[in-house]
Structure 1
């Protein structure tokens, strides 16, 4: 077997591509040095000025714009420029390599580890102390996702967790309860899937259960008490028994409906964000889904026959696999003090209160319930939860499940090879879904690839000390 490319070679390939405009290799261009930030003076009482360019964030709704107003007021005379568009990591790395990065970066928390290992972003210890950011207010699992080698590299923002969502009419017609599709009893969920699904000649007309592979494998592994990565972020556990069992079972959900390709084709044809979504049209029995979809469903199909619960582990307890966003300061930022102030302000109680009030007002104007916002900050979450308004059933149950999931979530710790790790996992799952490998063989291969990437990444960190 040909030895897979290591994390170092993959990382170099990405960064060399990104830094092509400056014509330099990894060591000379693509890795940040942080030198421009060494003289930063973080002080919550200081008056700030200059420019602040923000990459990866756009104020597109009332939750964003209300917090931007709070942050701009905190920054005083700073001229804020939001760079339009989604975050392009290669573009960002190229800007770091060229010595002209944005002042501030908004990224997914699972990107922070690799960016920190590449020295594309800087540690925030001095920023946190200077601006007085209380990291104890943030959920531990959110902080773990932005902490590499003992240093915090990001300020957590929004949080995403999964909730079990189901069509109550389809469940009742099949003689199935929500407890049988929430993951607590996998054998019962397999049986429920077979009762709910409608497949004729390989054509799916009703998806019984969608186990949401490949992206939700970490959730199902966590549901069995396992984890795909050790707590210190150094040891891959992709070939653990919990992972093999979870993938075997979750892939079997699709096999019982004619295979993943048949289910995916039917799923992709749905009007996911519209009134013709799968629940409203009675073409999906149940699935785990991020909590923001509750609001989508309530908006576009408030009369859909829904039922909600947390996702539950095999021990019957609520479980979720948390993801989310974070603020980070690029290496070479031209205004790290303003960047830190913005990160603090955007995740402050004042900002979240303003966001909740703005969303509440918008929902009341539409005659709809306010279903809450998950922030990654425990104090903010509790305050916002107190502002939630009743939408009656099943929406009140949905909100309760959302907050229950948020309180019982786990995450994957930051590591220097997060992209390579995720790629290895998804490649393994896809090879199983496509019938190219058994779960055991696919995950064993992924384990070797991911572990090599982790070893290389951590070795680079140690070498740099």
Structure 2
């Protein structure tokens, strides 16, 4: 399922590139795609059509309600289906775009480079918002292209290792043994925690969410798939070391196919999930999964460990979404005003209050909100995230908040989705034994570089 989703995303990005090239008539992509930039005003009136935002839970609804209260002269209609790149590019070609879209941050640079969304710096200034202080550096970097911010970031849910203390103790492993800054020693810990029946694992010593979190592991080794200039950097020596390690991790647990087979059989969201049924010792999870496990708090024994780079420094790696204003939107002023209202500290506090009420009603544990804004995260935590009385969850919640001090992301590129797909293909080929890590990454780099050169 993961591979299929990423393939669709890459195909959608390719559609964006092709469409934009046709629209420009061969013009070199750049900020605004050569279009005249809109001058934002702080007015927020008239009709506003959004795409991709769905206020289906208390967090989304409370933020939408806050924006509505702040902007009473704005009449909002929402297409609440998930954002569809191909649908949006078709709308752009027809000149019938919505006023505001919610999309994955990995798409922002591609859309910006092709003139499909508006730069927002002047709009931030009009509304008195300083993006550098309002958002984490990593989230702001994700939505920046050619020095300009093109979207309003939201959500940053970093990853950590979630240790199953029961299975760790049974294997003679302490949680602190899962130290990603010493990868060779970590392989031995993973092997010690793995249980096999023949060639098939029954308990995974360490599931690194590979290939899904491959980018994070590249950064653990000091690498990454995208450089500061947006160009692909897939074949760096650091990345080769990282992928070699990923292959070794899979092989000592039975190999990629066997590990994937066991993971596919896990009841990840159910009563017999892998922590309840003791099918794992450690897994890499983004913060949202801790919230899932609160439903099974009595049946799990957890301890979170931060992801560390080879230098021993924490890495709070995450992606996320953002709001962008399409080029040609009928109501760009209303769109930006609504996006900023829905992502303001006040909106997030309303969301925190709503989440706390929902948690209290269900007698659950409040694991917090991870908003993409440092100030909002701090205030929500201080006002609404109380100690639960469950030491395991309280410790894990603290670790996820702690790693927010070191936010990381993939970074922006006008061919970000193509780079992501090239990395996925390379990792899969190496894990399956089809190619050596260096060859797999070299082929991926050549493919991604061609895409980048075509977009430059």
Question: Shared topology, TM-score over 0.5?
Answer: yes
What does 1:268-307 correspond to in 2, within 5 Å? 268-307=264-303
- The answer as to whether partners of 1:29 and 1:97 remain within 8 angstroms in 2 is no
- The answer as to whether partners of 2:14 and 2:418 remain within 8 angstroms in 1 is no
- The answer as to whether partners of 1:34 and 1:331 remain within 8 angstroms in 2 is no
2:144 pairs with one of 139, 142, 147:
147
Name the stretch that deviates more: 215-224 or 352-361: 215-224
Aligned residues: 442
- The answer as to whether partners of 2:98 and 2:326 remain within 8 angstroms in 1 is yes
Structure 2: distance between partners of 1:18 and 1:151: 22
Structure 1: distance between partners of 2:33 and 2:57: 33
1:348 corresponds to: 344
- TM-aligned CA deviation for residue 165 of structure 1: 0.4
Q: TM-score, normalised by structure 1?
A: 0.89
Structure 2: distance between partners of 1:139 and 1:260: 35
2:209 pairs with one of 208, 212, 215:
212
- TM-aligned CA deviation for residue 33 of structure 1: 7.2
- The answer as to whether partners of 2:13 and 2:107 remain within 8 angstroms in 1 is no
1:98 matched to 2:98: no
1:381 matched to 2:377: yes
2:120 corresponds to: 124
- TM-aligned CA deviation for residue 451 of structure 1: 2.1
1:426 corresponds to: 424
2:325 corresponds to: 329
Name the stretch that deviates more: 178-187 or 349-358: 178-187
- TM-aligned CA deviation for residue 428 of structure 1: 0.5
Indicate how the Cα distance of structure 1 residues 228 and 381 shifts in structure 2: closer, same or farther if over 3 A, else same. same
Indicate how the Cα distance of structure 1 residues 256 and 347 shifts in structure 2: closer, same or farther if over 3 A, else same. same
- TM-aligned CA deviation for residue 263 of structure 1: 0.8
- TM-aligned CA deviation for residue 452 of structure 1: 2.3
Structure 1: distance between partners of 2:432 and 2:201: 17
Q: TM-score, normalised by structure 2?
A: 0.91
1:6 corresponds to: none
Q: After superposition, give the CA deviation of every residue in 1:404-427 in whole Å (9 maximum; x if it has no partner).
A: 122112223311110111111111
Structure 1: distance between partners of 2:239 and 2:92: 37
- The answer as to whether partners of 2:225 and 2:234 remain within 8 angstroms in 1 is yes
- The answer as to whether partners of 2:204 and 2:281 remain within 8 angstroms in 1 is yes
Indicate how the Cα distance of structure 1 residues 327 and 29 shifts in structure 2: closer, same or farther if over 3 A, else same. farther
1:437 pairs with one of 429, 435, 438:
435
Aligned partner of residue 391 in structure 2, secondary structure? coil
1:65 corresponds to: 61
- The answer as to whether partners of 1:237 and 1:447 remain within 8 angstroms in 2 is yes
Gaps of 5+ in 2: 1-9
- TM-aligned CA deviation for residue 224 of structure 1: 2.4
- TM-aligned CA deviation for residue 241 of structure 1: 1.6
- The answer as to whether partners of 1:12 and 1:26 remain within 8 angstroms in 2 is no
Gaps of 5+ in 1: 1-8, 460-465
Indicate how the Cα distance of structure 1 residues 80 and 28 shifts in structure 2: closer, same or farther if over 3 A, else same. farther
Aligned partner of residue 54 in structure 2, secondary structure? coil
- The answer as to whether partners of 2:152 and 2:324 remain within 8 angstroms in 1 is yes
Structure 2: distance between partners of 1:176 and 1:12: 44
